[in-house]
Amino acid sequence: MSLRAGDQLGEPTRAGDSPERLALSRQERRQLRHQLGWVEQTLAGVTEAIERAVFTEEHARSPGWLQGLDPRVKLGMFVVTVLAASLSHSLLALLLLYGALLLAARASLLPFDFFVRRVWLGIPFFAGIVILPSIFFTSGGPRLFELVIGPLHLGPTPASLLGAAVFVMRVGDAVSLAVLLILTTRWADLLKSLQVLRVPQIFILLLSMTYRYIFLFLHTVNGFFEARKSRTVGLTSGSEQRTWIVAALVTLMNRSFQMSNEVYAAMCARGFTGTIRTYSDYRLRTGDVLAFLGTALLAIGLFFLGRVIV
């Protein structure tokens, strides 16, 4: 008798499927989830982060001050201000700049908590790790306290603490500027405005397409994991899992290759012959020019303030 579709669903439960065995299976499933979990969680995390990035375009669409400016001007303002922050050695100047950034965030209708948290949650940690040795490995000047570890005499001086504060503040200002630019500018506009910096159009197109398709492929990969999870009922060996991950990578590569061919065909079908032409409808207005001049003056002021006051 030939086997028909669905016949196996009518098979009775095997005698071996005792409650103990089923309980073990649950335990095995937990182990399995643990084993594959990190890959899946990382991918889910990346997808979520990208989705969140897309979601934050809601701020870029709100009718705030920076949102209303020409993106090319915003990019120019960003470059000028980052330069001023990088060249400044004055904590006061950097604090003043941060104050100005908070005002700009307020005028751009960004939630205060969101803006501050997004910048300062990570910076003290990463910048602190980098600057930590220079705080304690000091020579000359009175130390605030001294730690003796064997032959080493370590301790912070007022100068090393000030240097660390300037460094952390400079990083904080630069990251705040980047966050402000990203949150108030749509990704598409940001990419187009790179033309002002003479970034080649082909590079901008590639960036734009990467951003467009990475999202699609991440969803595809998440689909792979979900499909596997829904069909996995027992414990699989590490070797089997590695084989599966490699197979998934190959499948994804094939799909992306096929899609790239199709996308290229779609471009050719609309007259693409290798020359990139893009459309932008940006027009400089008085407000844009004033904003840029104001930022340039602020940057120059901060630079010279850093020379006068430490």
Partner 1 sequence: MSVMQVSALQPGQVIYQLRGVRYRYHGRHLALDGIDLEISHGEQIALLGANGSGKSTLLKLLDGLLAPEEGYMRALGRDIKAVAAGQETFTFHRQVGLVFQDPDVQLFSATVFDDVAFGPLQLGLPREEVKRRSQEALELMEITHLADRAPFELSGGEKKRAAIASVLSLQPEVILLDEPTASLDPRTKWVLVNLIRRLGEQGKTIVTATHELEIVPLIARRVLVLGEERRILADGQPEEILRDRALLVRANLIHPQLHRSWLLTLESETEPQAPSDAPASSF
Least separation in angstroms between residue 40's CB and partner 1 is 21
What is the C-alpha to C-alpha distance for residues 56 and 53, in angstroms, rounded to an integer?
5
DSSP-derived 3-state class of residue 154: strand
In 3D, which of 244, 238, 227, 243 has the Cα closest to residue 31? 238
Least separation in angstroms between residue 120's CB and partner 1 is 29
Least separation in angstroms between residue 192's CB and partner 1 is 8
Least separation in angstroms between residue 6's CB and partner 1 is 16
Q: If you search the block for the tokens 């693409």, which residue do you land on?
A: 272
- The answer for residues whose C-beta is within 8 angstroms of residue 31's C-beta and 6 or more apart is 235
Least separation in angstroms between residue 259's CB and partner 1 is 7
Please report, as ranges, the residues that interact with partner 1 according to CB under 8 A: 54, 57, 186-188, 191, 208-209, 211-213, 215-216, 259, 262-263, 265-273, 275, 277-279, 281
In 3D, which of 166, 35, 174, 154 has the Cα closest to residue 90? 166
Give 112 or 272: the residue with its C-beta nearer to partner 1.
272
| DSSP line for 174-200 | HHHHHHHHHHHS-HHHHHHHGGGGT--
Give 137 or 272: the residue with its C-beta nearer to partner 1.
272
Token digits for 159?
Answer: 């100068």
Least separation in angstroms between residue 86's CB and partner 1 is 30
Give 34 or 283: the residue with its C-beta nearer to partner 1.
283
- The answer for residues whose C-beta is within 8 angstroms of residue 210's C-beta and 6 or more apart is none
- Beta-bridge partners for 154: 147
Can you list the alpha helix ranges (DSSP code H) found in the chain? 19-55, 57-60, 71-87, 91-107, 112-120, 123-136, 158-184, 187-193, 201-231, 238-269, 286-308
What is the C-alpha to C-alpha distance for residues 290 and 138, in angstroms, rounded to an integer?
45
Give 38 or 279: the residue with its C-beta nearer to partner 1.
279
Q: Residue 154 phi/psi, 5° resolution?
A: -115, 155
Least separation in angstroms between residue 151's CB and partner 1 is 59
Give 93 or 204: the residue with its C-beta nearer to partner 1.
204
Give 39 or 188: the residue with its C-beta nearer to partner 1.
188
Give 147 or 209: the residue with its C-beta nearer to partner 1.
209
